[in-house]
Amino acid sequence: MKKRFLLSVFCCATVALFAQGLPKKYVLIEHFTNSNCSICASRNPTFYNLIGGYADDVRHLSIHPPVPYSSCKFYQANTSENSARTNLYGISGTPRVALNGTLAPVSSQLLPQATLEAQLNQESPIAIEVTEGGNAPNKTITVTVTTYGTVPAGSYKLFAAVAESTVNYNAPNGESKHHDVFHAMLPGIDGQNITLPAVGNSASFNFNFTHTAPSGWTSNFDSLYVLAFVQNAGTKEILNTGTRFDPQFVGTGEAAAKPQAIRIQPNPVQDEAAVFLPNETIERVDVFSINGSLNYTSRVQQHEQVRIPTGNLTPGIYLVKLLGENGLYVGKMVKE
């Protein structure tokens, strides 16, 4: 959604994907805010600063209810689906947050650090992988759900939320940057009924989305991404989430027993970076800025090494994502 809050700022330029027991459970924060709400404007900055410190753990989605002001431009862009998600949690005012399907108590801090930290360091019996394709205005999405452990009893739904990583819009409440703005739910606001596969098996779902320019604010197709999650229809508990930015989970006993790593040289980079992936054929390379925008993409067929032109990139931190024959790999690149 990292977009500012989605991509992890890695501490080193090499990221290895090691075998694990169960997938990491990301904390899904559904953030109910309103662009006309002055209280939202006063509490959101501290909230954003807090979750920015947990970029590798948090997945954030901004939903815009009709309360306290139905004139909110983001609400008006999709009134029925913003309202439906709001009504699911019985929200009657903003700002509010729900963590992994549980509505947090009203607080002057919006989200206390202790409340967030209580949700960290958990595992999930499922992993969710998201791949995206297409060209403006049409986006294609594949969501793959793989089961690695025992799933709690219940009826589950798969949701694929289309969000925009950063929207620059001078709102009536004084906010000028809006993060992970909800556009639409796929296949619809009621989600996709899903019978989770048996342990060791996967189920894939294909979706399509056509981007329509909203009224009252400028939307950028290249900043759109999909945040998929599986939710218990009865308890509202979120089982796990996934985006295209996430490293691929590899379960115990699978091929990642020989960990692969991506190495970027030079790093920091100026005009061109060489990216190395030992014993792998690289099929595609994507470069994302820290706010989630796609800055470079190329389909290739290179063995162990690919070069990325970086002269046109503005200085900052970037996520390099490589698709290989045997998996998905990510690493951090710094542009001077």
Type of residue at 159: F
The whole-angstrom separation of Cα 279 and Cα 198 is: 31
One DSSP character per residue, 197-233 reads: PPTT-EEEEEEEEE--PPSSS---GGGEEEEEEEEET
Of the candidates 122, 98, 118, the residue with the CA atom closest to the CA atom of residue 26: 122
In this prediction, residue 22 carries a pLDDT of: 87
Handedness of CA 300, 291, 131, 116 (dihedral sign): positive
In this prediction, residue 14 carries a pLDDT of: 31
In this prediction, residue 26 carries a pLDDT of: 96
H-run or E-run covering 115: helix 113-117
Half-sphere exposure of 99 (CA within 13 A, CB side): 20
Residue 288: burial class (beta carbons within 10 Å; 0-12, 13-18, 19+): buried
In this prediction, residue 83 carries a pLDDT of: 98
Domain with CATH 2.60.40.3080 in the chain: 260-335
3-state secondary structure of 152: coil
What are the strands, taking DSSP E only, across 49-197? Answer: 58-63, 96-99, 102-103, 126-133, 138-147, 156-168, 177-186, 192-194
Class of the CATH domain delimited by 22-242: mainly beta
Domain with CATH 2.60.40.10 in the chain: 22-242
Single pTM value for the model: 0.73
Contact indicator for 211, 175 with CB cutoff of 8 Å: no
In this prediction, residue 317 carries a pLDDT of: 82
In this prediction, residue 16 carries a pLDDT of: 34
In this prediction, residue 327 carries a pLDDT of: 73
The CATH number, out of the four listed (2.60.40.3080, 2.40.30.10, 3.90.79.10, 3.90.1150.10), of the domain defined by the range 260-335? 2.60.40.3080
Each of the 336 residues of the chain gets a pLDDT tens digit; together they read 333 333 333 333 333 333 346 899 999 999 999 999 999 999 999 999 999 999 889 999 999 999 999 999 999 999 999 999 999 999 999 999 999 999 999 988 999 999 999 999 999 999 999 999 999 999 999 999 999 899 999 999 999 999 999 999 999 999 999 999 999 999 999 999 999 999 889 999 999 999 999 999 999 999 999 999 999 999 999 999 999 988 777 554 433 333 356 789 998 899 999 998 888 888 888 888 766 678 888 888 888 899 999 999 988 888 888 888 777 787 888 888
Contact indicator for 96, 64 with CB cutoff of 8 Å: no
CA angle 269, 273, 277 (to 5 degrees): 130
The whole-angstrom separation of Cα 97 and Cα 83 is: 15
